[in-house]
Amino acid sequence: MLEAVVMHEVGYCSRESIVAVTHVVRNRLESPLFPDTIEEVLHQKGQFSAIHNYYDHEIPVSYKVHKIVREALKLPDTTNGALFFYAPRYMQKDSPAYQWFQSLETTLICEGVWYCK
């Protein structure tokens, strides 16, 4: 399930992006602010829009994503504790969501995606 969500979120991006999104999920598992299982973290309302694509097997998980996600789970956190990520270029600058993300501490910017906590 984690691999499928990562595939749909950043599967066509760099290794660094795949590792970062994997680490956001792992950071959430370790945070008291989020549920305790990968399934609950990924299904939490309003969090991972790609979870719906998990059930659409027209785009299977690539070997590249499978391999990198497995490796990322063993690596130290590359996001400096990020719990969220977003792509500002796809958001309206005056939206409440954009304003909320901007209020957080940015810990990493990779390929136009901002990671924050």
* Residue 98 to residue 65: CA distance in whole angstroms: 28
Q: Specify the 3-state DSSP secondary structure of 51.
A: helix
Please say if the pLDDT value at position 1 is more than 70: yes
Sign of the dihedral through C-alpha 46, 48, 49, 55:
negative
Residue 50: per-residue pLDDT: 64
Packing angle between helix 2-10 and helix 15-30, nearest 10 degrees?
130
pLDDT 10s digits, 17-34: 999 999 999 999 999 999
pLDDT 10s digits, 51-97: 666 666 677 899 999 999 999 999 999 999 999 999 999 999 999 99
Domain span at residue 20 reads: 2-116
Judge whether 29 and 36 are in contact, CB under 8 Å.
yes
Whether the model clears a pTM of 0.85, i.e. scores above it, the answer is yes
> How many domains does one find in the chain?
1
- CA–chain centroid gap for 28, Å, is 10
- CA torsion 106-46-30-61 (nearest 10°) is -90
Band the pLDDT of 48: cuts 50, 70, 90: confident
End-to-end CA distance of the chain: 24
CATH number of the structural domain spanning residue 31: 1.10.10.2520
| Average confidence (pLDDT) over 36-61 | 79
Order of strands across the sheet with 106-110? 84-86, 113-116, 106-110
Please say if the pLDDT value at position 44 is more than 70: yes
